Structures are given as structure tokens and as C-alpha cells.
């Protein structure tokens, strides 16, 4: 009497590398697309503590079709479908009976068309459904490996016993290695393809088995269904099983005559570790917290490209090297906002230490920094690393030389070294932010940024006003830029935009001299720095997305919200919280500018330190070489009427 054959379902084992790859692809490639994906799994036998089970394994390589050199003894590669749902609700709500039925129908079609005889791998497939909670790094998954219930009853008529014939053992091992562990026929002691099943009278079916001694692996169920349908005259067939280290065994499988059906029913949804018919959950290990933090930060940014701004180039931020000249209230808040955009490379420059009053306004410092009197530049660099450990940040203590601040003979060598250091820093960075307390401190960095054609931003505060502006690029780099603009009356080329000093008609001088305490300290309304730095960083975010970058034009009047994927690229933004107003003027470069004009840059190129020393000691020299002195004389003589524009309050 035949005993009932028992088939051991696959246990899906998914390695963490599979989830790592899925998370990366979902975030960067698939995004909101729920289209089915083809993946490959490997079926193999697993043994642990006298317990054996049939494993279906997936790892990082499962996203690629296996090559011939990846075929291993005792392992079969199974192609399946993976559906990654966008929401937990979508993962819980699909018609899983329909998913199983559809996959079973494909297997049955390969049986009825005899396609299985040429491609036996068509008998094995799976449907893996997934919901990836990328923020929490939790993956919910439920796998289905369909098995056709055809015939309805399958039994064992001959107990499976070891095969001692060495020639049969060698034939089985050699053929499985040749055909990728796919089933085949043994006829007259020779291996024959499955296409011979229709004509073979005394055929023996050989297949790789991954189950225990008392059971058969799940993949045999569909193979029996295919044989029973193709050979309706058969009620049994002799089987050779290859069970890894357990060797080759021979026995006979029988079945009742199957009824004629259009498509047989199927089973296949996997049970969880508790034996329940429901999904499994994988929580990714928190081994490297810094790397995990990076993943979460990048996740928030990359989600922007899913729906809101599909064409955003996030590498414009992650690759940007930012130099922050001034590490006070503005410098701290600029750094925090830049980190929100994914910027990871900072250099902080300042010449002062953290005071007891700084922590409440300067967001990178703590009370203890003030107690210890830490260097602002170094404390800021340490702070951003605490916020995001993988940030590359350094601090530099530096007193930037300024017009109107004379250099004594004893200070010449040290000042020359400072100028050289500042020049090297500007050359080594992509974006420069001028965030110092005084106007004159911004003069040398403005000159050097223009010399090296660097994207430069200035941010300044008054009590209830602010200015955030970008400096124009080098006019010599893109001389044809104006010709490409449709209407020069409506837009100013980036290379023709004014710098911070272009609207001045006097040279910068020592603005700290003869000032009372309330004039020496930056006294502003509490929220001003957050508004100004937020606006400045968003201007940076838009400008770097423009194809021309530093040379992005600025609209005159109303801004073009479609200039970049993030909107307009204004020249400057000036605002006041007194009336809660904001405007975006665009100003052309001044050919008599004391910082970025060609005559000033030429003088620096020709005379170098000699020129700078003269400017530091005699700031009126800048007015002489730029023609401003003559302009003043003409005004005094009544030849011109000049309205002076002074925005000291926006410093």
C-alpha cells in the first residue's frame, strides 16, 4: 500500500545585503514605481542541529541573472517576481489569492504547452511581496512559492533506498553539474533530456531534492504535475533523488488518475516563524550608527526627487566644498541650513572665541564652549561633526586683513602668511560665504573670490533688516553670455552681477573705530539671523541647480520661478521685519568697484602684496585707482549730482 508523499515547503531566507540593495534601488531608481521586478533565488539544503529544511535564499546578487560560472553543485537558481509596495496599507491589501492563481497559471501553461520539457526551470517560481519602511529600516515581506495540486493524491509505493551503483552516482552528479541542477531522464543507464518523456517506456526521473529523509522538496510537486499531465497513461514513475551529502536514492512515486481541469488549484503562501499564515519582518541591525545616520539624512533628501522635484541634482550639494568666513550667528545658522541640504564639507574661519552670551544666538555652541572660551572656528567644526559624524569639517583661526586697519612692520610677515592662507582656502572651495561683522572684513575675500571665479554669497544683518546676495562671476570667463540672453533689459548675466561693494562710492574703511558698545556688537531682532541665513542658503540651493551655476542670470523686476528646478535665481534679497517686506533687486557690476573691478584685480595681479599693503594702510588708494576720487571732485564742483547709497544697517 502506498504511503502519502509529503512535500516540504521552502523557507525563504533573505540576507541583509538583499535589503540594502533594495533600499538603495527603491530610493534612487524605483521611487514610487510599484512595477513587478524580476529577482533570482537559490534553492539549497540547510542543516542545523539534526534539523534539515529547504531554503530559498536571496542576497545582493539576486537582482542579477546568474551566469554559468555561478552554478554550484546541489543548488538551483529560481527566477521570481518581487513587488515592492509604497505603503503598508498597499502591502496588506492585495488579493493574494489572485497573485498565487496568476503565478500558478503561468506554471500550468508551461505544463500544457510542453514548454517545461525544454525549460524545466519554468516549473519553479515565486512571488515576493515587500513593504520597505526605509525610515525605520524595517522590511515586511511575504513570499509565495506556488505548488500545483495536481494530481490530488500523490504517494510512495517503493521506499527510497540508497543507490550503491557508482556509475549511476557519477551520472547523476555529472549531469546536474552540466545542466545547472535541472531534472532529467535516465533511460538505459544514460542521461536523456525531458523532451524524451513522451516516448520513453522505462524512464527514470532524476531531480535534485532539498528535503529531509522523510519528505520531498517543494519543487518535486510541480514536476510530478507536469509528468502526470504529459503522460496520462502513467500512474507512477521511478525517481532518483540527489540529496547532497546523503547521496543518491531510488524509489517510486505514484498518484491517482487526475481529473481533467482547466487550471488546477495551488498553494504556496509561506508561514512565518510561528507557523502563522502571515508576513515576516526584518529589522536591519544598527551596527554603524554613523552610516545609518547618513542613510537617513540622504533618505530625506532623495525623497524630494520622488515626486516634488524629479530632476533635482542632489550631488550639487553633497559635492560642494563650503568656506564659511565668519563663525558667529550667521556662520552657525548657515552651516546648519547647508547640512540640511546634504552639504558635507566645511571650513570655518574666525578669529574670536566663544563667549558666555553666544550660545543662545549662535546655534553650534554650548554653554560649556563659552566657559572654556573655545575657538569659534574649531568649536563650530567639532559641532557639525557631532551633528553628522561623517561630515568633513575643519576650523582655521584667522584675522582677515582689512582696508583701514594698518599693518605695522612687525606684522607684515604674519599678514602675508594670512593672505596666502586665505587665498589657498578660497581656491580649494567651491562656495564662499561672507558672514563677518564688518564691511571691510569682506573686501579681501570678495576680491579673491572674484579673482578665482568662485560662487560667493554675502549675508548681512541690521536690527530689523537683512540682505542676502550673490556676487557676480568673472566677466572674462563667459564673455558671450549676454548674447545668449533673450532680453538684456529683463535679465542680467551672472558674470555682470554686482558684488557687495559695487554700490559703494567710497572705499571700505575701519568701521569699528569710535563706536560705542551697542554699535560694536551685532544687535538684531532674535529671528533675523534665521530668516537671512535661510534665504541665503535657499538662494545657494537654486543657483547651483542652474546649468550655468555661478553665471546664472538674475531677472530684473519679477523673478522667473522656472529658472531652475527649485525656482528663481535672484541677485539679492533684501527684507525687513519692521513691515515684513521683501524685495529682490538686481544690480549690474560697477566698473569702478573697489573690490571686483578689472582695475583692482589687475593691480593685485601686477603688484600682489605691495598693492594689498597699500590698501590696508591707505584705503583711499582704492578710490584713486578706481576713479572714485575724481568722481568726488566732480561732484564737489557741481558737475554731477550723486545720491550716496548707504546700507550700513545691513552689515
Active-site annotation, residues: 521
Cβ atoms of 440 and 510 within 8 Å: the answer is: yes
Give the DSSP H or E segment for 599. helix 598-607
Strand partners, 217: 8
CA-to-CA separations, 471 to 308, 400, 536, 553, 601, in angstroms, rounded: 29, 19, 12, 12, 15
Distance CA 640, CA 644 (A): 12
Distance CA 319, CA 338 (A): 12
Q: How do 465-470 and 572-576 pair as beta strands?
A: antiparallel
CA-to-CA separations, 493 to 466, 498, 587, in angstroms, rounded: 24, 10, 10
Cβ atoms of 430 and 424 within 8 Å: the answer is: no
Cβ atoms of 392 and 344 within 8 Å: the answer is: yes
Distance CA 144, CA 103 (A): 9
Cβ atoms of 520 and 582 within 8 Å: the answer is: no
Per-residue burial over 417-434, b if 16 or more Cβ lie within 10 Å, else e, is: ebbeebbebbeebbbbbb
Distance CA 496, CA 489 (A): 13
CA-to-CA separations, 255 to 182, 186, 222, 250, 446, in angstroms, rounded: 22, 21, 13, 17, 88
Q: Which residue has the cell 591707505?
A: 618
Amino acid at each position: 500500500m502506498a504511503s502519502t508523499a509529503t512535500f516540504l515547503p521552502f523557507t525563504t531566507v533573505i540576507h541583509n545585503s538583499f535589503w540594502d540593495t533594495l533600499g538603495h534601488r527603491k530610493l534612487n531608481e524605483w521611487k514610487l514605481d510599484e512595477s513587478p521586478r524580476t529577482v533570482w533565488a537559490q534553492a539549497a539544503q540547510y542543516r542545523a542541529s539534526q534539523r534539515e529544511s529547504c531554503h530559498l535564499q536571496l542576497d545582493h546578487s539576486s537582482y542579477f541573472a546568474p551566469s554559468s560560472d555561478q552554478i554550484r553543485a546541489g543548488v538551483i537558481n529560481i527566477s521570481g517576481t518581487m513587488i515592492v509596495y509604497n505603503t503598508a496599507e498597499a502591502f496588506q491589501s492585495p488579493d493574494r489569492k489572485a497573485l498565487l492563481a496568476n503565478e500558478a497559471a503561468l506554471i500550468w501553461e508551461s505544463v500544457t504547452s510542453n514548454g517545461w520539457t525544454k525549460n524545466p526551470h519554468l516549473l519553479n517560481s515565486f512571488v515576493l511581496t515587500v513593504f520597505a519602511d526605509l525610515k525605520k529600516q524595517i522590511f515586511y515581506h511575504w513570499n509565495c512559492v506556488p505548488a500545483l495540486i495536481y494530481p490530488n493524491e500523490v504517494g510512495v509505493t517503493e521506499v527510497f533506498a540508497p543507490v550503491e551503483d557508482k556509475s549511476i552516482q557519477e551520472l547523476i552528479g555529472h549531469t546536474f553539474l552540466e545542466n545547472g541542477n535541472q531534472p532529467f531522464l535516465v533511460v538505459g543507464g544514460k542521461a536523456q533530456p525531458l523532451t524524451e518523456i513522451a516516448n520513453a517506456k522505462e524512464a527514470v526521473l532524476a531531480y535534485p531534492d532539498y528535503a529531509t529523509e522523510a519528505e520531498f522538496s517543494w519543487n518535486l510537486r510541480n514536476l510530478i504535475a507536469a509528468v502526470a499531465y504529459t503522460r496520462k497513461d502513467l500512474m507512477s514513475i521511478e525517481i532518483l533523488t540527489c540529496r547532497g551529502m546523503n547521496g543518491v536514492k531510488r524509489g517510486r512515486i505514484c498518484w491517482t488518475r487526475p481529473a481533467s481541469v482547466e487550471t488546477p488549484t495551488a498553494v504556496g503562501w509561506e508561514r512565518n516563524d510561528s507557523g502563522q499564515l502571515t508576513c515576516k519582518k526584518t529589522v536591519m541591525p544598527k551596527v554603524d550608527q554613523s552610516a545609518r545616520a547618513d542613510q537617513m539624512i540622504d533618505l530625506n533628501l532623495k525623497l524630494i526627487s520622488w515626486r516634488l522635484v524629479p530632476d533635482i541634482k542632489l550631488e550639487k550639494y553633497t559635492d560642494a566644498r563650503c568656506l564659511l568666513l565668519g563663525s558667529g550667528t550667521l556662520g552657525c545658522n548657515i552651516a546648519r541650513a547647508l547640512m540640511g541640504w546634504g552639504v558635507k564639507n566645511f571650513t570655518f574661519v574666525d578669529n574670536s572665541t566663544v563667549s558666555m552670551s553666544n550660545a543662545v544666538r549662535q546655534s553650534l555652541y554650548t554653554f560649556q564652549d563659552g566657559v572654556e572660551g573655545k575657538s569659534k572656528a574649531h568649536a563650530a567644526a567639532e559641532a557639525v561633526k557631532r551633528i553628522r559624524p561623517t561630515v568633513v569639517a575643519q576650523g582655521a583661526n584667522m584675522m582677515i586683513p582689512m582696508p583701514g586697519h594698518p599693518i605695522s612692520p612687525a606684522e607684515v610677515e604674519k599678514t602675508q602668511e594670512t593672505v596666502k592662507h586665505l587665498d589657498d582656502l578660497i581656491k580649494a572651495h567651491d562656495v564662499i560665504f561672507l558672514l563677518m561683522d564688518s564691511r571691510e572684513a569682506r573686501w579681501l575675500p570678495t576680491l579673491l573670490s572674484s579673482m578665482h571665479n568662485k560662487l560667493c554669497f554675502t549675508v548681512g544683518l541690521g536690527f530689523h533688516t537683512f540682505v542676502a546676495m550673490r556676487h557676480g562671476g568673472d566677466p572674462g570667463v563667459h564673455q558671450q553670455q549676454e548674447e545668449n540672453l533673450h532680453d538684456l533689459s529683463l535679465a542680467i548675466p551672472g558674470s555682470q552681477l554686482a558684488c557687495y561693494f559695487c554700490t559703494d562710492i567710497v572705499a571700505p574703511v575701519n568701521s569699528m573705530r569710535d563706536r560705542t558698545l551697542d554699535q560694536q556688537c551685532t544687535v538684531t531682532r532674535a529671528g533675523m539671523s534665521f530668516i537671512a541665513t535661510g534665504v541665503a542658503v535657499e538662494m545657494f540651493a537654486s543657483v547651483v541647480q542652474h546649468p550655468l551655476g555661478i553665471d546664472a542670470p538674475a531677472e530684473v523686476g519679477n523673478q522667473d520661478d522656472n529658472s531652475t528646478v527649485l525656482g528663481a535665481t535672484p541677485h539679492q534679497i533684501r527684507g525687513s521685519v519692521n513691515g515684513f517686506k521683501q524685495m529682490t533687486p538686481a544690480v549690474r557690476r560697477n566698473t569702478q568697484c573697489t573690490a571686483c573691478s578689472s582695475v583692482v584685480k589687475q593691480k593685485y595681479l601686477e603688484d600682489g602684496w605691495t598693492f594689498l599693503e597699500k590698501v590696508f594702510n591707505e584705503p583711499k588708494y582704492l578710490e584713486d585707482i578706481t576713479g572714485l576720487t575724481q568722481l568726488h571732485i566732480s561732484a564737489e564742483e557741481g558737475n554731477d549730482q550723486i545720491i550716496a547709497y548707504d546700507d550700513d544697517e545691513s552689515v
